[in-house]
């Protein structure tokens, strides 16, 4: 299987300014932040990084860490936009800023796959703060947004209001993703596309435990049952695990062997503004008709 790279290019409200020595400097609207980045093993373009804040990781294997600020940053967050979607960015305890900018090429790709369909039925699993959901809703899709975190779904709904999309056809579901998909299979539901961005480890609203290596194959199998020969795509992204794009590509290849179309796999990356180099961020696999 040939691997491909989907590259996130800078846009008005986001850019990877520089990277190196295990860190990256990014702009989020009018603010700049430094965050750890183990994949940036090279030297940075500049030794002088001026930032509003920096996330310093903890020393234990479990992660952790905290933000340190050189200038005031709104604790409640600040608005950013991607195309026709407006959303709130903020410095979270989990080192990210409340959305994943490397997903921008995925949002564009999904829009391309459903172009020409009248109100395609799309499900976003582990949908977090809903930027991907709203990106598809803005293009005319009827969305089902699923996340186990009440706080994340509440933020997603707030982002819908900020985008002027509060009246769009979106079902906001607080639930364990695997359990919800299994129920959708029993109901005989069908979708035109599914986006899933599962964590390495997580807990559902009722204490359900999710372990990626153990639970992903069953979830993919159930997602396959929600798609048919007229469906357009399934897109899977995987972060922060010792897993190969070839491995998840083969998982999809076997799961979708009975459907027409194509299975592809590769890496997500973000293009650095300083030199144009590509910083890898995640692996992905997808089926498309």
pLDDT in tens, 124-180: 999 999 999 999 999 999 999 999 999 999 999 999 999 999 999 999 999 999 999
Residue 279, strand partner residues: 270
Determine the pLDDT at residue 241.
74
Cα gap 132→197, rounded to integer Å: 11
Is the model's pLDDT at 62 over the cut of 70? no
Q: Do residues 178 and 157 lie in contact, with contact meaning Cβ atoms separated by under 8 Å?
A: no
Cα gap 136→28, rounded to integer Å: 22
Is the model's pLDDT at 32 over the cut of 60? yes
Measured in whole angstroms, the distance separating CA 123 from the mean position of its chain's CA atoms is 13
CB-based burial, 92-118: b 16+ in 10 Å, e otherwise: eeebbbbbbbbbbbbbbbbbebbeebe
Determine the pLDDT at residue 146.
98
Q: Is the dihedral of CA 155, 74, 33, 105 positive or negative?
A: positive
Is the model's pLDDT at 210 over the cut of 90? no
The model carries a pTM of 0.95
* CA distances to 9, 223, 267 from 254, in Å: 32, 13, 20
* Closest C-alpha to 240, from 117, 77, 94: 94
Cα gap 56→31, rounded to integer Å: 17
* Closest C-alpha to 24, from 51, 5, 59: 51
Is the model's pLDDT at 94 over the cut of 70? yes
Determine the pLDDT at residue 60.
57
Determine the pLDDT at residue 184.
98
Q: How confident is the model at residue 33 (pLDDT cuts 50, 70, 90)?
A: very high
Q: How confident is the model at residue 61 (pLDDT cuts 50, 70, 90)?
A: low
Q: Do residues 183 and 162 lie in contact, with contact meaning Cβ atoms separated by under 8 Å?
A: no
Give tens-digit pLDDT for 68-82. Answer: 999 999 999 999 999
Q: How confident is the model at residue 58 (pLDDT cuts 50, 70, 90)?
A: confident
Tokens coding 204: 């559902």
Share of the chain above pLDDT 90, in %: 90
């Amino acid at each position: 299987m040939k691997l491909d790279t989907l590259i996130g290019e800078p846009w008005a409200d986001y850019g990877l300014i520089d990277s190196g020595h295990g860190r990256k400097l990014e702009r989020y609207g009018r603010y700049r932040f430094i965050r750890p980045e183990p994949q940036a093993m090279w030297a940075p373009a500049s030794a002088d990084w001026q930032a509003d804040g920096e996330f310093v990781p903890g020393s234990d294997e479990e992660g952790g860490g905290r933000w340190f600020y050189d200038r005031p940053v709104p604790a409640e967050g600040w608005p950013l936009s991607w195309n026709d979607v407006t959303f709130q960015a903020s410095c979270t305890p989990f080192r990210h800023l409340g959305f994943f900018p490397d997903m921008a090429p995925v949002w564009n790709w999904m829009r391309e796959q459903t172009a020409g369909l009248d109100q395609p039925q799309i499900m976003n699993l582990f949908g977090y703060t809903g930027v991907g959901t709203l990106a598809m809703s803005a293009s005319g899709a009827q969305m089902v947004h699923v996340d186990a975190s009440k706080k994340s779904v509440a933020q997603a709904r707030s982002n819908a209001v900020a985008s002027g999309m509060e009246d769009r056809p979106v079902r906001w579901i607080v639930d364990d993703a695997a359990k919800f998909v299994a129920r959708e299979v029993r109901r005989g539901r069908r979708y035109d596309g599914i986006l899933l961005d599962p964590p390495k480890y997580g807990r559902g609203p009722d204490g359900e435990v999710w372990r990626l290596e153990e639970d992903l194959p069953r979830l993919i199998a159930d997602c396959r049952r929600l798609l048919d020969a007229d469906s357009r795509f399934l897109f899977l992204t995987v972060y922060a695990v010792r897993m190969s794009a070839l491995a998840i590509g083969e998982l999809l290849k076997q799961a979708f062997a009975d459907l027409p179309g194509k299975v592809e796999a590769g890496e997500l990356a973000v293009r650095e503004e300083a030199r144009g180099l590509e910083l890898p961020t995640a692996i992905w696999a997808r089926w498309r008709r």
